């Protein structure tokens, strides 16, 4: 009876906890939506007056300084940020619905009737992309605007930020590594080995053609062996998972499978929650060789027979190597039966200076992942 009472309390605590977290999230989304639409409206006002010659030189500097005097402690209205608001409006003025709104939907900010377009709940429910747009913070928006060149590319990153809850650091990493151009571009045999179209699409979107391992600094990358590379990755496993994607969970290094009494070892084994499949990663220090495909095909057969759970999708294999020949990969995959792909990697010693140190340090990474100080200290 006591145990049942404890269980009931535990269920109640979890239910209340989830309600609190959901309420906090909804409140944060509402605050963010208000701020974005405020910045959009001010950006429109600034654009309309500064671009047409209505204001003279130095107008934004004057406005920023005067606002600081009239609203002491005001944050977010430095000259650079006001210019960001203008850029924000000019980049998205064709995307935000431009309709005649009822008076009740208009917000009058100042005596000269600056009116901010507000999005109704109905519009957000019927337009998932608008929901994503107002769910992403202004800092995220500006990082995207500064590093992208097309609306499709911007919307790609906005949707990723909104649905996968990217931190600013994660967003900047993916912008630097040009995820938009590379996601789904991995050399693969998915078209002939995965019949389920939904699973195939998710699998394609889960892998990139190149991974930047800028946190692995090996003195002579050309001389290192696969085990040393694997050890470096495991020592930086949280950063490696951020490189792969947030849906990956690490299962083990040198993962053992036994076939007919013989042991075989998979370099790295992961599980991907989105595609609900085991992912075997084979590390190679040099160029892709055709025999790698046959070996990985064998490993995947063993995983599907002895490790995969009944509800999971077929296991996927990734060969991570320094370089690849498109024709060799195509020929090597031609008669394989298991889904696999080939991606390349670059380490710190091989990256241009501007690519190095993109990911946060360990403490910052723990903070991003939601770890407390006690958890970090053991």
Residues 27, 151: one domain? yes
Q: Higher model confidence: residue 15 or residue 253? A: 253
Model confidence at 138: pLDDT above 50: yes
Euclidean distance between CA atoms 45 and 65, whole angstroms: 17
Residues 288, 315: one domain? yes
Q: Quick check: is 176 in a domain?
A: no
Residues 240, 96: one domain? no
Model confidence at 374: pLDDT above 60: no
| Banded model confidence at residue 296, pLDDT cuts 50, 70, 90 | very high
**DSSP helix/strand/coil, 164:** helix
Most confidently modeled of 62-71, 178-187, 223-232, 250-259?
A: 250-259
Report how far apart the first and last C-alpha atoms of the chain are (Å, whole number).
35
CATH classification at residue 215 = 3.40.1350.10
Tokens read off for 49: 């007056």
Residues 58, 188: one domain? no
Tokens read off for 306: 């002895």
Most confidently modeled of 151-160, 293-302, 344-353?
A: 293-302
* Mean confidence (pLDDT) of the chain: 81
Mean pLDDT of 70-83: 89
State pLDDT tens for residues 281-291.
999 988 999 99
Q: Quick check: is 172 in a domain?
A: no
Residues 312, 193: one domain? yes
**DSSP helix/strand/coil, 82:** helix
Residues 210, 275: one domain? yes
Domain that holds residue 49: 2-165
How confident is the model at residue 256, as a pLDDT?
96
Tokens read off for 293: 């495909």
CA separation, residue 295 to residues 118, 198, 308, 318 (Å): 57, 27, 18, 12
Tokens read off for 352: 């241009």
- Using CB atoms within 10 Å of the CB of residue 276, give its burial: 0 to 12 exposed, 13 to 18 middle, 19+ buried: middle
Cα torsion 185, 188, 191, 195: sign: negative
pLDDT-above-70 percentage for the chain = 79
**DSSP helix/strand/coil, 371:** coil
In degrees rounded to 5, what are phi and psi of residue 71? -125, 75
Mean pLDDT of 131-148: 91
How confident is the model at residue 360, as a pLDDT?
47
* CA-wise closest residue to 329 among 302, 303, 293, 304: 293
* CA-wise closest residue to 215 among 235, 201, 198: 235
CA atoms within 13 A on the CB side of 255: 21
Q: Are 77 and 64 spatial neighbours (Cβ–Cβ below 8 Å)?
A: yes
How confident is the model at residue 6, as a pLDDT?
53
* CA-wise closest residue to 171 among 360, 374, 349, 356: 360
Number of domains in the chain: 2
| Banded model confidence at residue 369, pLDDT cuts 50, 70, 90 | very low
Euclidean distance between CA atoms 378 and 376, whole angstroms: 5
Q: Are 302 and 263 spatial neighbours (Cβ–Cβ below 8 Å)?
A: no
Of 165, 195, 210, the domain-final residue: 165
Q: Are 161 and 140 spatial neighbours (Cβ–Cβ below 8 Å)?
A: yes
Indicate the helix (H) or strand (E) that contains 115: strand 115-116
Residues 335, 268: one domain? yes
Residues 119, 199: one domain? no
- Taking CA 332 as the corner, what is the angle to CA 329 and CA 334, rounded to the nearest 5 degrees? 105
Q: Higher model confidence: residue 349 or residue 243? A: 243
Q: Quick check: is 362 in a domain?
A: yes
Euclidean distance between CA atoms 116 and 42, whole angstroms: 8
| Banded model confidence at residue 331, pLDDT cuts 50, 70, 90 | very high
How confident is the model at residue 372, as a pLDDT?
44
Lowest mean pLDDT among 129-143, 153-167, 236-250, 354-368: 354-368
Strand partners of residue 256:
265
Model confidence at 174: pLDDT above 80: yes
CA dihedral 208, 145, 151, 39 (to 10 degrees): 140
């Amino acid at each position: 009876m006591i145990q049942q009472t404890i269980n009931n309390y535990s269920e109640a605590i979890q239910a209340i906890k989830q309600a609190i977290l959901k309420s906090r999230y909804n409140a944060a989304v509402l605050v963010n939506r208000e701020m974005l639409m405020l910045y959009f409206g001010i950006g429109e006002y600034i654009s309309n007056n500064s671009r047409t010659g209505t204001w003279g030189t130095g107008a934004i500097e004057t406005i920023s300084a005067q606002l600081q005097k009239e609203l002491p402690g005001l944050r977010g209205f430095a000259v650079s940020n006001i210019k960001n608001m203008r850029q924000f409006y000019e980049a998205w003025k064709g995307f935000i619905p431009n309709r005649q709104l009822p008076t009740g939907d208009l917000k009058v900010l100042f005596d000269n009737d600056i009116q901010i377009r507000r999005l109704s709940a109905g519009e957000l429910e019927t337009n998932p992309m608008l929901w994503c747009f107002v769910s992403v913070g202004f800092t995220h928006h500006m990082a995207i605007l500064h590093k992208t060149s097309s609306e499709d590319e911007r919307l790609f990153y906005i949707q990723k930020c909104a649905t996968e809850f990217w931190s600013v650091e994660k967003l900047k990493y993916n912008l630097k590594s040009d995820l938009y151009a590379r996601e789904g571009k991995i050399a693969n045999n998915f078209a002939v080995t995965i019949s389920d179209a939904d699973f195939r699409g998710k699998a394609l979107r889960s892998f990139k053609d190149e991974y930047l391992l800028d946190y692995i600094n090996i003195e002579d990358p050309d001389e290192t062996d696969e085990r040393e590379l694997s050890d470096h990755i495991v020592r930086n496993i949280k950063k490696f998972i951020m490189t792969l994607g947030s849906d990956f969970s690490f299962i083990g290094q040198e993962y053992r499978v036994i076939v007919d009494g013989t042991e075989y070892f998979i370099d790295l084994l992961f599980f991907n929650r989105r595609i609900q499949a085991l992912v075997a990663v084979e590390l190679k220090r040099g160029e892709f060789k055709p025999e790698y495909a046959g070996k990985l095909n064998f490993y995947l057969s063993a995983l599907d027979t002895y490790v995969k759970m009944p509800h999971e999708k077929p296991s996927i294999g990734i060969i991570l190597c320094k370089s690849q020949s498109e024709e060799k990969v195509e020929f090597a995959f031609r008669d394989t039966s298991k889904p696999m792909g080939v991606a390349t990697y670059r380490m710190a010693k091989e990256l241009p200076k501007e690519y190095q140190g993109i990911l946060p340090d360990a403490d910052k990474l723990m903070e991003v992942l939601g770890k407390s100080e006690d958890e970090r200290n053991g």
